[in-house]
Amino acid sequence: MVNVIIHGCGGKMGHVVAELVKNEPDCQVVAGIDPTTPALDFPVFPSCEACDVAGDVIIDFSTAKAVPALLAFSKAKKIPVVLCTTALSEETTALMQETSKEVAILKSANMSVGVNLLLDLVQRAAVILAESGFDIEIVEKHHNQKIDAPSGTAMALADAINQAMEERYHYVYDRSQVHEKREKTEIGIHAVRGGNIVGEHDVIFAGRDEVIELTHRATSREVFAVGAVKAAKFLAGKPAGLYTMKEVLQ
Ligand X SMILES: NC(=O)C1=CN([C@@H]2O[C@H](COP(=O)(O)OP(=O)(O)OC[C@H]3O[C@@H](n4cnc5c(N)ncnc54)[C@H](OP(=O)(O)O)[C@@H]3O)[C@@H](O)[C@H]2O)C=CC1
Query: Which string of DSSP letters, residue by residue, matches 184-239?
Result: TTEEEEEEEE-TT--EEEEEEEE-SS-EEEEEEEE-STHHHHHHHHHHHHHHTTPP
Q: Binder to ligand X among 30, 35, 121, 214 (CB under 6 A)? A: 35
55 binds ligand LZUJQKHR (CB under 6 A): no
Residues marked as catalytic: 142, 146
Q: What number of other Cβ atoms are within 10 A of residue 154's Cβ?
A: 26
32 binds ligand X (CB under 6 A): no
Residue 112 known to bind ligand: no
Within 100-159, the residues that bind ligand X by CB under 6 A are 108-111, 148, 152
Within 85-114, the residues that bind ligand LZUJQKHR by CB under 6 A are 86, 109-110
Residue 152 known to bind ligand: yes
Residue 12 known to bind ligand: yes
When CB distances to ligand X are compared, the closest residue is 11
Using the contact rule CB under 6 A, the part of the chain among 25-33, 144-152, 171-179, 181-189 near ligand LZUJQKHR is 144-152
Separation of CA 66 from chain center: 15
241: left (phi over 0), alpha (psi -120 to 50) or beta: left
Using the contact rule CB under 6 A, the part of the chain among 62-70, 121-129, 163-171, 188-196 near ligand X is 62-70
Q: What number of other Cβ atoms are within 10 A of residue 132's Cβ?
A: 10
Residue 84 known to bind ligand: yes
Q: Give the long-range contacts of residues 35-40, CB within 8 A, separation 24 or more.
A: 36/10, 37/9, 37/10, 40/9
Residue 111 known to bind ligand: yes
Q: How far is CA 39 from CA 16, 55, 59, 86, in A?
A: 16, 17, 17, 25
Binding residues for (S)-2,3,4,5-tetrahydrodipicolinate: 143, 152-153
Binding residues for NAD(+): 8-13, 34, 84-86, 108-111
Q: Which residues bind ligand X (CB under 6 A)?
A: 7-8, 10-14, 33-36, 61-63, 66, 84-86, 108-111, 148, 152, 224
